[in-house]
Structure 1
Amino acid sequence: MSKTFLEFLNLQKSAINLIKEEQFKEAISNLETAKTIFPNKIDRIGHWLSGIYCIQNNKEKALSELKEVLNKGSYWNPAILKNDTDLSIIQDSEEFAEIIHKSGKLYNFHKRNSSSVLHTVGNDESETTITALHWKNSNALDFSEQIVTDNLKERYLFSFVQSSQLFSNGCYHWDDYDVAKTDIERPHSKSNKSNIIFGASQGADTAIKMYFELNSNYDTVIALVPTLSNLDTMEEKLKKHQKTKVKLVIITGDKDYFYHNVMEALPVFEKYKIPCKLIVIEGMGHTIPDNFEELLEENIK
């Protein structure tokens, strides 16, 4: 049975904790085992292992881990490796430069050939279809595994749209809104029953903009931990909207590093007479709340 993205996140948390506790041998052992369990995440696992070996001043093993990733056909956005200070002891070497060169070629190839993907999950007979937009630097499948419980799968049909904008291996973003809009509006992501749009983080920002498009037919937008980093751009959408009935729900946490952006956006929503239901979860950061299923169902009604 293939392991899920949630199990991979648990592995990541465990590795981080072991490294903080300087239990490097156990961290390395767990990550080596993970290579066979999560082969599609080999780029991240190899990167983490390389970082551990750098901490131990083992340049040869650090470089070997990165080479192994490339030999298995995976790659990174070169900026990820070049900007990682944990790899500083190998970044001036010729071998590292060659790794960056090879990874860059693979990255550029996949970036040129990247296209939007639709991943559907749930009940095809449901009267409620939810268009869902993933986090920045995530993908449709991983996001669906974070969001859709068995209960939600039985009650609703989710259309997870994956951006065509590649950030790194298996990771996509919504930086260019015009491209994002085209991806979301493609025929494969449309349905006469689709009346809710939902997103997380940058996907939440994109969902809000899509909701206020002049030709939008979404009844509700649910924004989970939005960044609202470009409020001026967002305001351009808000001032032109023609919706007679608006249902905007924002779910965030008071420890989210974008929380202050949300609070600054509230007067803007009020300025354009846009009612906003704000749900602030005490102590929560930039993540999915434990009671997300309950919150989603409560705000779909």
Structure 2
Amino acid sequence: MRSDVTLRLLDRTLLTELLHAAVEDADPLEVMPPVEGPGGPDGWTPERRSAFVRFHESRSLAADPVETTFAIAVSGRVVGAARLCPVEKQAGTAEAGVWIGRSHRGVGVGGAVLELLLEQARAAGFTSVYVSTEPHNTAVRALLAGIGVDLVPDCPDGDALTARVDLTAEADVAQEARYRALDETVSRLYVEGRLGDALKAVQDEAPRIPRRRADTAHLAACLLTLTGRPEDALAELRTALADGAWWSPAILVDDDDLAAVRDLDGFAALLRESTARHASATGVPLPPVVRRPQGTPRGVLVVLHGADQDAALAAEQWAPAVDAGFVLVAVDSSQRSTPLYRSWPDTGVGIRDITAALAELDEADNSLPLLAAGFSAGARVAVLWALSDVAVRPSGFLALGPALTPAHLDGERRVRAAQRAVRGRILVGEQDDDVTPGVFDAHEVLTDAGADVTLETVPDLGHDIPADFARRLPVLLDSLLAARPRPAGR
């Protein structure tokens, strides 16, 4: 989102600036209702200027306002207006309205305004907002698509597109997108040594991501410590703890960035309380996300999310498997480092989560071929589950960017790889510095042991899912099923 776009609550001083922006850069009919009375010249006549002022004075500046209006500012200059008007007989619902001067259209201002306006609507207690835009407004359309909102024509012959934004549903999605963007920015600035800039980015964004309170507090605490402010770092963690946050003991005790905080009075008490909350919140399996194909399934594919992801995202990423005829079982890790950060540090607990998820399936699914798949940390567990000695295990695995090294492949797993000729397919981005070169060494260990495991590098890809994954996935699954070994325990 453009950082130079802001919304300022309209007052009489801003109304003068708003009128100037309208006269200089918009048509009267774009910014207010038609002026009643006999026809006259086009453009901003004295009558229309007076009507513009009266319009806002009677609606948002009245003693009992009809709606709330904001002046849109770009780098401090007023360029348009945005409004929220409660919809009659629809409690908690508002209609959004926006106009922007011609010279500021088509450059991302509209998308930024809409995002800010939805935040204002949430803060005002609205639960839904009606939004309209034009088909060519790609910024607004992209923003709505990003939070899962579909625009539809407001009438069969009309050009305008309309959508109802459910603020209670989209808030989590929007906050997650903000958090992902922040995490990426902070990681880049951290590597570049720009710790002050990274801290400012966290402090600016954290209030807009309340569901990630524990994670943003941890980021801020690390950066405060590294910039010579350990006391402020501890205060940040304690404030977040008071807000309900918690962290696993490993985060607080093993993170080198917090070393100076651990010597301060008050840290031990914080650690005790956080550890107690972590113990009561982690280790509880969640029901899996299950997707079934149309017709008779040809296999079961268990998919495991990456670190700081979840089963819902994994189900979306691996959805082409359902079209390929597989029952898709996306499993949430029960291991949490913060209230929302899930990963797979303990393989044994991960396999227990998988076993609990498989128990939720229909009995008929037990006779189907069983495969494992995953991304990053989840991919590592998929591989190690296939090489485990548990009763129910997959006959093959598909690992995307697995966080796997030879250290994970102990002697017993190497023996089982040779004995059962486990079949596996590994995809690694050519630019994936997160898991290379360790995964190449792990692949060599598996092939030397006799396992049928191939590794393919994907050009121009980092630690991510390939852009053409929907095309690749059915072919890879077919290769794992072809003349497959008899699955153990199935």
TM-score tier after normalising by the smaller chain length: 0.7 to 0.9
Question: Shift of residue 94 of structure 1?
Answer: 1.0
Say if 2:339 is the partner of 1:169: yes
TM-score by length of 1: 0.77
Report what 1:204 is aligned to.
Answer: 379
Q: Give 1:267-286 correspondences, 5 Å limit.
A: 267-271=444-448, 273-282=450-459, 284-286=461-463
For 1:9, what is the secondary structure of its paired residue? helix
Question: Shift of residue 223 of structure 1?
Answer: 1.0
TM-score by length of 2: 0.51
For 1:91, what is the secondary structure of its paired residue? helix
Q: Give 1:116-131 correspondences, 5 Å limit.
A: 116-120=285-289, 122-123=291-292, 125=294, 127=297, 129-131=300-302
Question: Shift of residue 10 of structure 1?
Answer: 1.7
> How many Å separate the matches in 1 of 2:251 and 2:419?
38
Cα separation, partners in 2 of 1:83 and 1:185, compared to 1, 3 Å: closer
> How many Å separate the matches in 2 of 1:209 and 1:17?
31
Residue pair 1:118, 1:140 contacting (<8 A) in 2 also: no
Residue pair 2:248, 2:336 contacting (<8 A) in 1 also: no
For 2:208, what is the secondary structure of its paired residue? helix
Equivalent pairs counted in the alignment come to 290
Structure 1, unaligned runs of 5 or more? none
Question: Shift of residue 251 of structure 1?
Answer: 0.8
> How many Å separate the matches in 1 of 2:441 and 2:258?
38
Cα separation, partners in 2 of 1:293 and 1:11, compared to 1, 3 Å: farther
Question: Shift of residue 272 of structure 1?
Answer: 5.1
Cα separation, partners in 2 of 1:17 and 1:213, compared to 1, 3 Å: closer
Say if 2:220 is the partner of 1:44: no
Task: Provide, for residues 246-270 of structure 1, a one-character-per-residue CA deviation record: whole Å limited to 9, x for no partner.
Answer: 6421111344454344433445444
Question: Shift of residue 93 of structure 1?
Answer: 1.6
Question: Shift of residue 211 of structure 1?
Answer: 3.1
Structure 2, unaligned runs of 5 or more? 1-169, 479-490
Report what 2:400 is aligned to.
Answer: 224
Counterpart amino acid of 2:284?
S
> How many Å separate the matches in 2 of 1:83 and 1:9?
23
Report what 2:317 is aligned to.
Answer: 147
Q: Give me the CA root mean square deviation.
A: 3.4
Determine which structure has greater relative contact order: mean sequence separation of CA pairs < 8 Å that are 6+ residues apart, divided by chain length: 1
> How many Å separate the matches in 2 of 1:15 and 1:294?
33
For 2:261, what is the secondary structure of its paired residue? coil
Counterpart amino acid of 1:299?
L
Say if 2:470 is the partner of 1:293: yes
Residue pair 2:182, 2:202 contacting (<8 A) in 1 also: no
Task: Provide, for residues 189-242 of structure 1, a one-character-per-residue CA deviation record: whole Å limited to 9, x for no partner.
Answer: 67345633102234223322333567557454201122143223421321332x
Report what 2:8 is aligned to.
Answer: none
Counterpart amino acid of 2:238?
K
Residue pair 2:293, 2:322 contacting (<8 A) in 1 also: no
Larger radius of gyration: 2
> How many Å separate the matches in 1 of 2:259 and 2:388?
45
Q: Give 1:1-301 correspondences, 5 Å limit.
A: 1-4=170-173, 5-17=176-188, 21=194, 22-23=196-197, 24-35=199-210, 39=211, 41-59=212-230, 61-111=232-282, 114-120=283-289, 122-123=291-292, 125=294, 127=297, 129-135=300-306, 137-138=307-308, 140-141=310-311, 143-144=313-314, 147-148=317-318, 157-186=327-356, 187-188=359-360, 191-192=365-366, 193=368, 195-212=370-387, 216=392, 218=394, 220-226=396-402, 227-228=404-405, 229-232=407-410, 233-241=412-420, 247-254=423-430, 255-271=432-448, 273-282=450-459, 284-301=461-478
Residue pair 1:51, 1:87 contacting (<8 A) in 2 also: yes
> How many Å separate the matches in 2 of 1:176 and 1:26?
33
For 1:223, what is the secondary structure of its paired residue? strand
Bigger proportion of residues as helix: 1
> How many Å separate the matches in 1 of 2:311 and 2:385?
21
Task: Provide, for residues 85-135 of structure 1, a one-character-per-residue CA deviation record: whole Å limited to 9, x for no partner.
Answer: 433443322122322222122123334xx2222331544536254211233
Residue pair 1:197, 1:207 contacting (<8 A) in 2 also: yes
Task: Provide, for residues 49-80 of structure 1, a one-character-per-residue CA deviation record: whole Å limited to 9, x for no partner.
Answer: 22343355445543332122211222001331
Cα separation, partners in 2 of 1:286 and 1:196, compared to 1, 3 Å: same
Residue pair 2:246, 2:339 contacting (<8 A) in 1 also: yes
> How many Å separate the matches in 2 of 1:287 and 1:2?
25
Cα separation, partners in 2 of 1:183 and 1:295, compared to 1, 3 Å: same
